[in-house]
Amino acid sequence: MTKIILFTLISIQALAKPFWTEKTTYQEGDRVYFVGVSTNNSSLEEGRKKALNNAKSEISNFLQISNLNNFTFHTQMNYEEETESGYTVYRLMWADREELLNIQKENQEKDLILKEKEIQSYKEYAREKEIKNNELEKIKSTIQHNSQKIPQMAICGMTAAEALKIIGTPRSKTKCYGKVSYNYGRYWLKFENNLLVCVQTLSNFNACGDCMFSSAYQCN
């Protein structure tokens, strides 16, 4: 919880404004001062609350943090004046310089740890993406390589064993009603009674269908 210590709370109404009303932040000795301002308020109470919040914003900006919990700062004094448009309140607050430096250091260390985690996470993402892309390119290359071999190497009447030996291991196999089909990329080789009878494209392939109705072309 934010601690506010009313060290010396003074409401001043004077003809001459204190010098600190012209500042937002300044340092004296081992203290750092912050000034919060609120204008055109309908009451002093409203102005004091808004000036406090404005001072907190100055502290947050100075520390570059948004969470002021467990941080101790002190109210030194208020300067208040009444104008035609309402009340104006200046609130002077201070914090121990050493405490501020410690908070800044802790915040910088947290930011460093967070950045290191983000960098590590990005590296892991990039590495995983590279692995997937490499695998995808490998798959594309295999499909293209296998597909290119079919028009020249698929010969009607060759056995399944001969196809394995000459063309290579198929990417997948399927069987239906005694018909065995081997996939080589964009093509399927269909065997009946262990002999190649036709070649079918992926879009025309039917494991259980007859070659004469569904093949893209008959084998050589």
189-210 pLDDT, tens per residue? 999 999 999 999 888 898 898 8
With a pLDDT cut of 90, the percent of the chain lying above it is: 48
SS3 161: helix
Distance CA 6, CA 158 (A): 97
Kindly tell me the burial class for residue 217, based on how many C-beta atoms sit within 10 Å of its own C-beta (0-12, 13-18, 19 or more). Answer: middle
CA 162, CA 195: separation in Å to the nearest integer?
A: 10
Q: What is the structure's pLDDT at 79?
A: 95
Residue 133 has pLDDT above 60, yes or no: yes
- Name the more confident of 49 and 71: 49
The model scores a pTM over 0.75: no
Instruction: Write out pLDDT tens, residues 74-131.
Output: 889 999 999 899 999 999 999 888 888 887 788 778 878 888 899 899 999 999 999 9
pLDDT at 210: 80
| Residues 12-68: tens digit of each pLDDT | 444 578 999 999 989 899 998 999 999 999 999 999 999 999 988 888 888 777 667
pLDDT computed for residue 45 by the predictor: 93
- Report the alpha-carbon distance of residue 213 to residue 135 in Å, rounded: 36
**What does the angle CA 86 – CA 91 – CA 94 come to, to the nearest 5 degrees?**
175
186 burial level (CB within 10 Å; 0-12, 13-18, 19+): middle
Q: Assess contact for 95 and 73: CB atoms under 8 A.
A: yes
Predicted local confidence at residue 58, as pLDDT: 86
Which carries the bigger pLDDT value, residue 182 or residue 60? Answer: 182
pLDDT of residue 164: 93
Distances in Å between the Cα of 157 and the Cα atoms of 19, 120, 162, 199 are: 103, 57, 10, 12
Domains of the chain: 3-101 (no CATH), 154-214 (3.30.1450)
Q: Are 191 and 160 in contact (CB under 8 A)?
A: yes
Question: Rounded mean pLDDT of 133-144?
Answer: 91
- Give the helix/strand (H/E) hosting 88: strand 86-96
